[in-house]
Amino acid sequence: MPSETAATVAHAMYTLVWFRQNLRIRDNAALCAAVAEGSPIIGIWIDDAETGNPRRTAFYRQSAAELAQVLAGRGIPLYTAASPAGLVRLAVRLNIRAVIADASHTFADKLADNALWHELDKHGIALTFVNDRSVFDNTDLIPDNGTAHTDFNRYREVWLDRFSKQPPAGPDLFAAYRQPFPENLSAPPPAALSDGIFLPQNGGETAAWRQWRRFLEQADSYSVLKDFPSRKNTSLMGAYLSAGCISPRLLARESLERRLNAWADNIIRRDFFLQLALQHADDAPSDGNLEHTLRLTLWQQGQTGIPIIDAAMRCLHKTGSLHPALKRLSADFFCHVLNLPRREGEIWFARQLTDFDAAINQGNWRLAASRHTCPDIAAASYRTDPNGTFIKRHIPELAHLSADTVHTPWRFACSVDTHGYPARPVAGV
């Protein structure tokens, strides 16, 4: 992609589309809004590599590289900036009349958006936001009291009623769009990936649709097998939805048309967390004492002595992904067994998950912390991984144990060898 130091484009007024978490062209509301503006289009993507999450950075770069090539085929150059300040400089240099971006959903991002609006306004450049990250916008399903829905079951009911009457995915103004590629701008090369980063999934819109079609081939068994991590029967769409490589509106429509209601609940819950996120500012990380730090470290390293939790954390660190049932169980264990502050777990997941989305991560962790009781971890382990397949896959020290002992090896400490795995749990279960 061209750098933000490209020469000024003279004698033209452009609309700049800022791609954030909508790295696609199909059902892209920002691109459709730009077409409606009537001016030639230029794209920009901010490559924020300082997130502390190298897998997510690499996935986004790969997705942006494909987007750059597809946009170039429509006559649209895609620039890269390192920060919002770089976007402002580019907008001034390229004679931009308006910037259109997909709306953010967190308190911190909204503050940053306000600052960007003020900077662009100094140069007479308009900034407009559209919803590309959720099926329904934050304002679409506001309850009578004017604040966000806090009860998921009620939100789901309202969401489904609205969707049945007015599904949001409509005609795509960008589908047939073409423009002459600006003569004084060079064609964008692919973005560079982060060296040495292993990605279990390829980024980009093409890979997203391929994965969705693959999931649909086995989707009939989703409601039965979705809670068993070893069966690998989830859709694996999380990273694609986070980067916006695929439209949640289109996935909602397809899943409901196929009566995949159990899977469609994931999309609805995602919308639920996105509309809740603006109600909460991020808490500051706690300082913590020595015992606090020790328990946090053991959890992060998969050394708590609870096999299902440790297998989950090792899987997360190794692959950058984690089955939804294990995300919930790990968070419950963190908040209610280790008694650690929710924000510390939230930060760790933010650094590890390829499919990290700030609003979704925040929502899941707040939900875990708000539960009054923690599930029986041993019983949950037997339920989610009956044969111990997932545990043995990620904790080779226990691969020789039977299904009867692998979930709770400390109960058989006198008769089994755990090859260095902790003999006792860090906390009582």
pLDDT of residue 384: 94
Residues annotated within the binding site for FAD are: 222, 263, 355-357
As a whole-number percent, the residues of the chain with pLDDT over 90 amount to: 73
pLDDT band at 98 (very low <50, low <70, confident <90, very high): very high
pLDDT band (50, 70, 90) for residue 4: very low
Average pLDDT over residues 272-284: 81
Dist. CA 229–CA 329, nearest whole Å: 12
Residues 196-209 have a mean pLDDT of 88
Q: How many CB atoms lie within 10 A of CB 410?
A: 17
What structural domains and CATH numbers belong to the chain? 14-132 (3.40.50.620), 134-169+204-280 (1.25.40.80), 290-415 (1.10.579.10)
Averaged pLDDT for residues 295-313: 96
Range scoring the smallest mean pLDDT among 179-183, 322-326, 384-388: 179-183
Per-residue pLDDT band for 286 (boundaries 50, 70, 90) equals low
259: left (phi over 0), alpha (psi -120 to 50) or beta: left
* pLDDT band (50, 70, 90) for residue 279: confident
* pLDDT reading at 8 higher than 50: no
The pair of three-digit structure tokens given for residue 290, joined into one six-digit string: 């020595």
Residue with tokens 């924020």: 48
Q: What is the mean pLDDT of residues 376-380?
A: 92
More confident residue, 381 or 374: 381
pTM assigned to the model: 0.91
> Above 60 in pLDDT, residue 329?
yes
Confidence tier at 7 by pLDDT (50, 70, 90): very low
Kindly report the average pLDDT of the chain as a whole number: 89
Q: Among positive and negative, which fits the CA dihedral 102, 103, 105, 106? A: positive
> Can you read off the two tokens belonging to residue 307?
């096999």
Asked if residue 125 lies in contact with residue 96, where contact means CB atoms within 8 angstroms, the answer is yes
What contacts 24+ positions apart, CB below 8 Å, involve 10-14? 10/95, 12/40, 12/95, 12/182, 13/39, 13/95, 13/96, 13/97, 14/39, 14/40, 14/41, 14/42, 14/94, 14/95, 14/96, 14/97
Mark the binding-site residues, compressed into ranges. 222, 263, 355-357
pLDDT at 288 over 70: no
Query: pLDDT by residue (tens digit) across 126-167?
Result: 999 999 999 998 888 887 667 788 899 999 999 999 999 988
What average pLDDT does the segment 360-384 reach? 90
Q: Provide the CB-side half-sphere exposure for 165 (13 A, CA).
A: 7
Q: Which of 1, 55, 23 is nearest to 208 (CA)?
A: 23
Tell me which DSSP letter residue 183 carries: T
Q: How far apart are CA 169 and CA 89, in angstroms?
A: 34
Report the distance separating Cα 11 and Cα 13, nearest Å: 7
What was the pLDDT predicted at 9? 42
- Which pLDDT does position 373 carry in this prediction? 76
Query: What pLDDT score does 284 carry?
Result: 64
Token output for 251:
């996935």
Q: In a 10 Å sphere around its CB, with 0-12 CB exposed, 13-18 middle and 19+ buried, how is residue 196 labelled?
A: exposed
